[in-house]
Amino acid sequence: MGTVAIQLSNAVKAYGRNVVLAGLDLDVERGEFLAVLGPSGSGKSTLLRVLAGLEPLDGGELRWPDSPGTSPPIVATVFQQPLLMPWLTVRENVALGGRYRANRTRFDHQHVDELLALFGLADLADALPEELSGGQAQRVAVARAVAIRPQVLLLDEPFSALDPVTRRGLQAWLRDATRSLGLTVVLVTHDVDEALYLATRIALLDGSGTVAGWWRAVPVDDHEDLAGHPLRAELLASYPSELGTATRGAS
C-alpha cells in the first residue's frame, strides 16, 4: 500500500433516522485516482462531503496521516454542476480559486494563464459562463478548483449532466490533467466504465453504509477497450441492484 493521505475509520453519518454511513472504513493513498462506485442513494456524495470536511461525522474519525501535524491537506471539490460565477469571465472564475487560497487579494496571473493553457481554455478566457457549453463550463470548474493548488481533488459526478461523447472527451482530459499535476483524486460516480477508465483503485459502496469491496485497477488507454476489461464483469456482478443488496464482495 502507498502512503495514506486520507483515512476514514468507522465513519458514521446519519440524517435523522437515515443512517447513510454505517461504520465505513476508507483510505486514500497519495497520488492515486480512487473511484468510489455505488448506486443512487448509497452515500457517495455524503462520503465526499465528509472527506472535504463539509460534513461533520456522527461517529468515527477522519485523519490525514500524510500531512504535517494535524492539519488537513488542501482539498478542492468539484460538484455535479459547475457553479461558476455568472458575472465573471472564465479567466476571473479560475483566478477566483487562486485568490481564495491563503486570502490572496491579487490574482496570480501566471498560474491562471498556465491553467487556462493546460485545460484548453485560453481561447475562452474572456467568455462569460452563459457562452460556454456544459463540458467547457465543467472544465472551468475543475480549473478553478485546481487553482488553489490542492493536494487532493474531490469530484462528485462532475460529468453526469453531459452527453456521452462530451463525457468521454472530458474523462480523457481529466486523466491527463490530474496526472500531469500529480494530484490525489477521489471521484464518486455510479458509472462502472468511468471508474474503469480513470481509476487506479475502486471502492464499491454496498448500499448499507459500508464498502462492499476494493479493486486495484489498471486504467485502459482507450474507451473502446472497456467492454472487455477484466474487472468489468466482476464489478457489475458485485454492484448492489438496490440499496442494501450487494451480491458479493471482493478484496
By CB under 6 A, name the binding residues for ligand ATP.
15, 18, 20, 38, 40-46, 190
Backbone φ and ψ for 193, nearest 5 degrees, come out as -65, -35
Nearest to 142 by CA among 82, 90, 85: 82
| Least distance (Å) between residue 78 CB and ligand ATP | 14
| Least distance (Å) between residue 40 CB and ligand ATP | 3
Nearest to 6 by CA among 134, 179, 186, 205: 186
Strands (E), 16-165: 18-29, 33-37, 59-63, 75-78, 152-156
| Least distance (Å) between residue 15 CB and ligand ATP | 3
| Least distance (Å) between residue 208 CB and ligand ATP | 12
Nearest to 73 by CA among 239, 228, 184: 184
Q: Which is nearer to ligand ATP, 4 or 19 (CB)?
A: 19
Q: Which is nearer to ligand ATP, 119 or 159 (CB)?
A: 159
- Contact predicate 226/196, CB 8 Å: yes
Q: Which is nearer to ligand ATP, 20 or 199 (CB)?
A: 20
Q: Which is nearer to ligand ATP, 139 or 190 (CB)?
A: 190
